[in-house]
Structure 1
Amino acid sequence: MTTTSYAIALGSNRPGRHGSPRAEIRAALAELGDVRAVSPIIVTAPVGPSIRAFANAAALVDSPLDPPAMLARLKAIERAFGRRRGQRWGARVIDLDIVLWSGGAWRSPGLVVPHIAYAARAFVLHPLAAIAADWRDPRDGRRVRHLRHGVDRRRPRP
């Protein structure tokens, strides 16, 4: 059985049964299994309609699961934590996303790896760069650290 690596983004902006959003992230990390590296947990401003700040982190996880099976595992963890599908960008106890996979790109119904929007999200790239700065995006070969610098340089349009 082949083991591959996943970069997983974690986010929370609502307390749950484990406590604060930071505690929810730590508890989710414990559920992930073979975690090889974990970024520091950072606090970021909400995106969209949510008014609560987010706790965000990234983890590198080794697993024999293929991307659809890993996604099913992440969704099961979210459900166990009380995550319910609802308003996009709304408050959530836990959010777990596959960002990158060591197998390269993957596309199937309901799943696209690399994550379709990760390269534009500072709240994903900053934690990810702390643990996988040299990981290359299989679409264009850019390293995570270069993607992070790109989001840092963007200026809002007037």
Structure 2
Amino acid sequence: MQDNSRISTALLGLGGNIGDPVAAMSSALQMLEQHPDCRVTQVSRLYKTPPWGKTDQDWFFNAAAEVETTLSPVPLLGLALGIEQVNRRVRAERWGPRTLDIDILDFGGLVIKSDQLTIPHPRMTERAFVLMPLADFAPDFMVNGKTVREWLGEVDASGIEVADESRDWWRNPDKDMKGG
């Protein structure tokens, strides 16, 4: 990274369920890793999860990552949205199918509420598909007064499966794990 004096840690949630979502998430993490202002420091295992919100669609693949960055929150959001576009993300339907979704779950413990960005992510504590991957490397991370582990104990995680035990799954995207 370019300027070590202002490094922040961001927690990201990644997911997708159309096309090759594992390759899209792998591409996203590699693009973050190659960006001069970012470094991927931790990645969860890869999970296969039932759809949430809009349930008449294919299952998702989900993961979480920790990224150190010299970017501030809004430029990091811009980078994430650009990476989604490179991976052909189309925002046609809320909670609908997507090739790739990148959410900023937390950014250095900041609380931000704006039209562009809300941190911590407003629904992360309700979603096992976010909490379970995050618990792989940050079970004691505090969100709204409780740890990720405590929040995970309060949500329905039924149906969620580990798709890849390796936390390096994103470095080897050639495995055949297409959604469906």
What range describes the TM-score normalised by the shorter chain of this pair? 0.7 to 0.9
TM-superposition CA deviations, 1:119-138 (whole Å, max 9, x none): 0000000000111111111x
1:40 aligns with 2:18: no
Gap runs ≥5 in structure 2: 34-38, 159-180
TM-superposition CA deviations, 1:72-113 (whole Å, max 9, x none): 110010011111221111111100000011142122222110
Q: Which amino acid aligns with 2:71?
A: L
Structure with the larger RCO, 1 or 2 (CA within 8 Å, 6+ apart): 2
Matches within 5 A, 1:39-78: 39-47=44-52, 48-78=54-84
Partners of 1:85 and 1:152 in 2: CA distance: 26
1:84 corresponds to which residue?
A: 90
1:22 aligns with 2:22: yes
Partners of 2:89 and 2:55 in 1: CA distance: 17
TM-score norm. by structure 1 comes to: 0.88
Aligned length: 148
Query: Secondary structure of 1:14's partner?
Result: coil
Query: Secondary structure of 2:134's partner?
Result: helix
Partners of 1:81 and 1:45 in 2: CA distance: 22
C-alpha deviation, 1:151, in angstroms: 1.0
Partners of 1:80 and 1:96 in 2: CA distance: 12
Identity across matched positions, percent: 36
1:134 corresponds to which residue?
A: 140
TM-superposition CA deviations, 1:5-34 (whole Å, max 9, x none): 01100001011xxxx222221111111221
Gap runs ≥5 in structure 1: none
Partners of 2:6 and 2:25 in 1: CA distance: 27
Deviation >4 Å, runs of 4+? none
Among candidates 5, 11, 14, match of residue 10 of structure 1:
14
Partners of 1:128 and 1:10 in 2: CA distance: 11
Partners of 2:18 and 2:10 in 1: CA distance: 25
C-alpha deviation, 1:150, in angstroms: 1.3
TM-score norm. by structure 2 comes to: 0.77
RMSD after superposition: 1.6
Partners of 1:121 and 1:8 in 2: CA distance: 14
C-alpha deviation, 1:50, in angstroms: 4.4
